[in-house]
Amino acid sequence: MSTPAGTSRDPFTAVRDGEREAIYAELTAQGPVHPVTMPTGRTAWLVTGHAEARALLSDPRLVKGGWENGVYASMLPEHVARGVHTHMLMSDPPDHTRLRKLVTSAFTRRRVEKIAPRIQQMTDELLAAFDGVESADLITALAYPLPIGVICELLGIPPESRADFRNWSTPLVAPGIFSFEEYEAAAIAILDFTHELIKDKRRVPQDDLLSDLIAARDGEERLTEDELTSMVFLLVIAGHETTVNLIANGVHALLTHPGQLDLLRTDPALLEPAIEELLRYDGPVQNTLPYWTAEPIEVGGTTIAAGEIVVVSLNAANRDPAQFPGADRLDVTRQETGHTAFGHGLHYCVGAPLARLEARVAIGALLDRFPALSLDAPADSLTRVPSMIMNGLAGLPVRLR
């Protein structure tokens, strides 16, 4: 993989804690747009400026182009590529509008708040397992099982069927860093699982989101079979990976900024705005999935020709000092708004209300239950998972007492 012009390191494979942010800061200081080579070997334009990011994410000249533009679409068997890539994040209007409408009602803030008691119960059960335990990996013990449990309950995926999701999602969110063969095997496995799950739901519909989506497919023909399987793929992968990173990155940021943690402990009312600052400071998603230019677009003095790939760096935009004074400083009382952690425009994350709620419940309960919570390893020893899309820690060892 080539390195962005003018830098000596690659942000996608940077794993030392703080290294990725430093690379993006160097890029942003040079300008808002940069030629890069993605881990899959394709060339693209990486946008790091905040104003440019928000403008482009609302620009109809940036398109997705359908399943044919999905990762490895030309290399995968066509039924696999169609079965996992015919979803909202690879669609343009009017298909995108139709697909998003089917799930939007399930993720409104009002609807999500109704399941808050269940999220609190799941969190309390996970934290109860810490009784008598001195230390733990917070990702394995809390940040992963809570979001995967929540999204699977919403979809109606039984607990005994969830064990393989983490193994599948790891190569699926880091194509090019993992081999094509690993990506293909994971895509086939999750697609086969989804087909069997849909068969079960068709035989015995239940009160869950997947049964509702199947009813839309079978009753009103508003979903194709590929759209149905791709919707499950997207909701399961995006519905837990982002929140895993939000919880873990958020706790990590607080533990490495004790003054900010003290502010939050002193005034629990700060928790909700603090979640927004944690999203800005160390967001769960590094970069968007690729877009394509339908027409030439001028970005920060650079003209990007039609037919080019554009990737928007959400995390770089959130550290742009032109938008956020003291951008590299964590400040849970920060008043500036407009972070791009959940994207912007047409493809703004439909699950944002759910992710915010899960983070608020999980981090609030953790800090309340364990007042002496601290890192159980030197901060500079923690590493990130290599990925162009996700921004997650490989582990988060903590001391509970």
Name the average pLDDT for the chain: 92
**Cα–Cα distance, 29 to 39 (Å, whole number):** 23
Answer whether residue 1 shows pLDDT above 70: no
Residue 261 lies in a domain: yes
7 is a domain residue: no
Domain tally, the chain: 1
Q: At residue 51, what is the residue type?
A: A
Chain segment 154-213, per-residue pLDDT in tens: 999 988 877 688 889 989 999 999 999 999 999 999 999 999 999 999 999 988 888 888
283-321 residue pLDDT tens: 999 999 999 999 999 999 999 999 999 999 999 999 999
Residue 51 CB contacts under 8 Å (≥ 6 apart), including other chains? 32, 320, 322, 323
Residue 305 inside a domain? The answer is yes
pTM higher than the cut 0.75: yes
d(CA 220, CA 205): 16
E-strand ranges in 76-148 read 135-137
pLDDT at 8 over 50: no
Whether 8 is covered by a domain: the verdict is: no
Q: Is residue 254 part of a domain?
A: yes
Rg value, the chain, Cα = 20
The answer as to whether 12 is a domain residue is no
Q: For the domain that residue 394 is a member of, what is the CATH number?
A: 1.10.630.10
Does the residue 11 lie in any domain? no
How long, in residues, is the chain? Answer: 401
In the chain, % helix, strand, coil (3-state, to 5) comes to 55, 10, 35
In a domain, 124, yes or no: yes
* Domain that residue 349 falls in: 19-399
